Amino acid sequence: MTECVECGADVTLHDDLEVGEIVDCTTCGAELEVVETEPPVLERAPELEEDWGE
């Protein structure tokens, strides 16, 4: 268990977590990238940005 960096909710992680893996926060829906496993550290996964105003 660790905190979502976006909304602060608890994110449940499985045991065989790997660096680079993407997990979802079930509260805010953010995609989070595992950057360390011992202990687990999550960062916001990069998103493809949209701009429909151009």
Q: Which residues contribute to the site for other proteins (CB under 8 A)?
A: 6-9, 24-25, 27-31, 45, 47
From the number of C-beta atoms within 10 Å of its C-beta (0-12, 13-18, 19+), residue 16 rates as exposed
User: Which CB, 8 or 19, lies closer to other proteins?
Assistant: 8
Identity of the residue, 15 or 25, whose beta carbon is nearer to other proteins in the bound complex? 25
Question: Minimum distance from CB of 30 to other proteins (Å)?
Answer: 5
Query: Which of 38, 45 has the CB closer to other proteins?
Result: 45
Backbone angles phi, psi at 37, to 5 degrees: -115, -25
